Every structure is written in C-alpha cells, then in structure tokens.
Amino acid sequence: MSEDTTTTDADATADADVQDTPDLGDAGQKAIKAEREARKIAERTAADAVAKLKSFEDANLSELERTKKAADEAASELAALRIENVRNRVALAKGVPADLIEFLTGSTEDEVTAKADVLMSRLGSSGTPKPDPSQGAKGTTQKKTTGAMFEDFFNENLST
C-alpha cells in the first residue's frame, strides 16, 4: 500500500517542533519520536486492516450477488418446467396431438385446460380417428374347403 504523504509532512513538522523545545531533553525528544513512529506504524496497520476488510466485504458481496443470481435463474427455470409439465399433462388428458401442444398457453392448469378444450373443439375430433365404412373389408366371408366347394357343385348340378 502507498504511504500517506500528508502524514509524513506533518510528522516532519512535528519532529522539528520537538527538536525546537529544549526543555524536554534528549530522553523526552526520543520518547516523542518513538511515540510518533509507533503511531505511524499503527495508522498504517489500521489502514491495511480497513483495506483488507473492504476487500473481504466486496468479495462476500459479489459472492452473495452470484448466489442470488443463480437462485433467481433456478427459480425461473423451475417455473418454466412446471408450466411445461402442466401443458403436457393437460394435452395427454385431452388428447391434443403432440405437434399442437405449443398452442396451449396459460400459467395455471385451469387456463391450459380451457385452451385445450377450445383447440380440440376447433379440430372437431377427440384425437382418435373414426372408422371409415367405405374402406376395408365389407364383411367376413370364410374361404370354403375343397370338399365344401365339391358338395356345392354336386348339389347344384345333380338336383336339376
């Protein structure tokens, strides 16, 4: 850390004042000089301690800010996942096709359910297709065995 030059100038002036007072004697002047040196050392130590305390406070504050930011991000991610869970649950219950789930909006289950009901009413189906009677087999006809076909042929030709 850098020294405070104003304190050094004041100390030099004070040292000159001490030397100008002959009534203290050599021992008194030495005691005053020693006291001033001790005071300078104590002031530097106190300034260093204040600077270290400030740096620790700044580090703790930034750590607190980082922790708060991480907590806020986690809370917003949790909220988004909860909303997505509600949308998926309602879509499954109402039979909404997977490609239309993105149209379900809302922040509560009631809101999402209302949107799903509107969407499904506009689609006009419940999610499962209805059978088309014009397609597929018309009935079940069993294939006859060779013996049954011979019997039918025999009965048709002999009975005349």
pLDDT digits (tens, 9 = 90+) for 136-155: 766 666 788 888 888 888 88
The two structure tokens encoding residue 83: 């909303």
Q: Where are the domains of the chain?
A: 5-126
C-alpha to C-alpha distance for 13 and 26, rounded to whole angstroms:
18
**Considering the entire predicted model, what is its pTM?**
0.42
Q: What is the pLDDT of residues 88-116, one digit of tens each?
A: 999 999 888 888 888 888 888 999 999 99
Closest by alpha carbon to 116, among 99, 94, 97, 98?
A: 94
Mean pLDDT of the chain: 81
pLDDT of residue 59: 80
Q: What is the pLDDT of residues 5-18, one digit of tens each?
A: 455 555 555 555 55
- Residue showing tokens 């014009």: 134
Closest by alpha carbon to 30, among 43, 42, 18?
A: 18
C-alpha to C-alpha distance for 133 and 155, rounded to whole angstroms:
36
C-alpha to C-alpha distance for 14 and 21, rounded to whole angstroms:
11
**Cβ burial, residue 96 (10 Å; 0-12/13-18/19+):** buried
pLDDT higher for 24 or 102? 102
C-alpha to C-alpha distance for 41 and 62, rounded to whole angstroms:
31
